[in-house]
Amino acid sequence: MTPSDLHAVLRKYWGYDEFRPLQERVVASLIGGHDCAVIMPTGGGKSLCYQLPAVVSGRTAVVVSPLISLMQDQAAQLEQMGIPAAALNSHIPWPAQQEIMRRACKGEYRLLYLSPERLLREDFIEFLGHVPLAFFAIDEAHCISEWGHEFRPEYRQLRRLRELFPNRPIAAFTASATRRVRHDILFQLGLRDPDKYIASFHRPNLNYHVKMCDGKTQERLLRAAVEAYDGSTIIIYAPTIARVADTVSFLGRQGVEAIPYHGKMDAEERTRNQERWMSDEVRVLVGTIAFGLGINKPSVRAVIHLALPKSIEQYYQEAGRAGRDGTSADCALLWQTKDAGLLAYFIQKMSDEGERQRAWDSYHAIRRFAESGLCRHRQICLHFGETPKWERCNACDVCAEELEWMSAPKPTVRRAASASADSQLLNHMRQWRRDFARKRGVPAFMILNDVSLADLCLKEPQTLDDLLTVTGIGEKKAQSFGKEILTALHEFALR
């Protein structure tokens, strides 16, 4: 396909006029049948890199994903865009699974999402032999490496894909892999002379701010932060389930509704809480590390950590859930020495010597990150093997002024990283989006993300053709609910 053909597909389905850095080259590699290894930061647009080639291939790309919620969200989002996709997992009733498999064998899907456990079951391998496969895409590929911060033994089985389907390309995608982990990914998956694409780990729209504090100071700062980001979406990471509950209660006493999320919650309640947050019903979510893998909400304006993470990789991934729409967002790490001591205590309890040593290496790296007076952005880049040409980022507490709410002696009402426009029209369209998404039973961002919403309010389109000039609105969305968007805009104009 020519570049103009690819841009036409990009515009038709995704509603974008241009690719992000590296995307077009990765797409071309997969269309050309090459193995690929893609390291691209959160918010860099990894998903499009395998979704677009699948669309133009006319065949089925199998995407291996570690989380059921992530699979289902991505498949639902693609369907909204007019791209046939499905997820196969244990949460789907067996008759529905059989129907998906029947349609997959007929080549009706462009993308099929699977877990690593299911993919390599013997009965499933036989089923895949009847599917017109385009290629395999391994998402969160760092999970295959014991040197990675989220090693999952079931991912090691994926090395069999090369033996079982030798003529199908394999593409590995991850946002957070050191040089050692990157080499391990290539080896474990048996990639053949892969095209390697490593984007910069620098996220210039994120403001990293780190502060060591005691418990009382942390509570005061948290209260100030929630006021500072009033009206914006926030994630707060707490180190334990008990701290999640305490933080939700604390915020409630301040008149701020927040919802909890952790691995020990009932699955139904956890899903309901996530959906309420995703649909903007509640703007503050307090979670453990169980929350976030694959969360694709572009409009998060702040991520606040209440304890030192286990590693730089974990911090980079969790903090990177802020600002995925490309606009300014803040990442605040408010840590206490007692929490660092708790990390050390659990490391000492590890029985496997190799695992314990890797944990100590990660611990010392995150302590250096938190305690040194060096640029935070630069430290992260260096950790992942990238050497920036600049010394100062002007977007961290070392290189720029401290966030006002972090230095104020009392809570401030100034918003730290304000959303771009806060006009009456934007509020009107946000409410329309929330109501429309609820009727359709999908998260609000699947209807229109915040960047699209802001562009919509800026351009105020009058016709369906005008609507196609709005970023993020492709032909399918314009056809599906373009009239409803235009009606909502017209209703505001008549107020």
Specify the CATH number for the domain of residue 179. Answer: 3.40.50.300
Q: Do 140 and 167 fall into the same domain?
A: yes
From CA 120, how far away is CA 188, in angstroms rounded? 15
Q: Do 374 and 261 fall into the same domain?
A: yes
Q: Do 210 and 302 fall into the same domain?
A: yes
14's CB contacts (< 8 A; 6+ apart) are 48, 52, 81, 472, 474
Using the CB atoms, write b or e for 333-361: b if 16+ within 10 Å.
bbbbeebbeebeeebeeeeeeeeeebbee
Q: Do 77 and 22 fall into the same domain?
A: yes
Amino acid at 141: A
From CA 317, how far away is CA 185, in angstroms rounded? 18
Q: Do 441 and 403 fall into the same domain?
A: no
Q: Is residue 419 part of a domain?
A: no
- What is the reported pLDDT for 229? 94
Q: Do 251 and 359 fall into the same domain?
A: yes
Q: Look-up: residue for tokens 């968007």? A: 485
Among candidate residues 173, 198, 223, the one where a domain is terminated: 198
From CA 52, how far away is CA 23, in angstroms rounded? 10
- What is the reported pLDDT for 419? 46
Q: Is residue 85 part of a domain?
A: yes
Q: Is residue 418 part of a domain?
A: no
**Structure-derived torsion over alpha carbons of residues 213, 218, 224, 226, reported in degrees to the nearest 10:** 130
- What is the reported pLDDT for 416? 46
Q: Is residue 433 part of a domain?
A: yes
Q: What pLDDT, in 10s, does the model give residues 282-327?
A: 999 999 886 765 566 888 999 999 999 999 999 998 999 999 888 8
Longest dimension (CA), the chain: 69
Count the helices and strands in the chain (H runs, E runs).
Answer: 22, 13
Q: Is residue 158 part of a domain?
A: yes
Q: Do 329 and 193 fall into the same domain?
A: no
What's 443's domain CATH number?
A: 1.10.150.80
Q: Is residue 415 part of a domain?
A: no
Q: Look-up: residue for tokens 């947050």? A: 277
Task: Note whether 301 and 330 are within 8 A (CB).
Answer: yes
- What is the reported pLDDT for 411? 43
Among candidate residues 169, 198, 227, the one where a domain is terminated: 198
Domain range for 136: 3-198
- What is the reported pLDDT for 196? 96
Among candidate residues 407, 438, 454, the one where a domain is terminated: 407
The total number of structural domains in the chain stands at 3
**DSSP H stretches of helix in 106-237:** 116-119, 122-128, 160-164, 179-189, 215-228
What are the residue ranges in the chain where pLDDT is below 70? 69, 290, 292-296, 408-411, 413-423
| Residues facing 174 on adjacent strands | 39
Q: Do 189 and 210 fall into the same domain?
A: no
Using the CB atoms, write b or e for 408-427: b if 16+ within 10 Å.
beebbeebbbbbbeeeebbe
> Which tokens hold the place of 172?
């590995």
Q: Do 286 and 182 fall into the same domain?
A: no
Q: Is residue 416 part of a domain?
A: no
From CA 449, how far away is CA 81, in angstroms rounded? 13
Task: Note whether 82 and 109 are within 8 A (CB).
Answer: no
Q: Do 164 and 293 fall into the same domain?
A: no
Q: If DSSP states are collapsed to H, E and C, what string results for 151-185?
A: CCHHHHHHHHHHHHCCCCCEEEEECCCCHHHHHHH
Using the CB atoms, write b or e for 24-57: b if 16+ within 10 Å.
bebbebbbeebbbbbbbbbbbbbbbbbbbbbbbb
DSSP characters over 47-66: HHHHHHHHHHHSSEEEEE-S
Q: Is residue 414 part of a domain?
A: no
Task: Note whether 376 and 208 are within 8 A (CB).
Answer: yes
- What is the reported pLDDT for 409? 52
- Within 13 A of 159's CA, how many CA atoms are on the CB side? 13
From CA 68, how far away is CA 47, in angstroms rounded? 16
Q: Do 260 and 193 fall into the same domain?
A: no
Q: Do 89 and 167 fall into the same domain?
A: yes
pTM of the model: 0.83
- What is the reported pLDDT for 295? 66
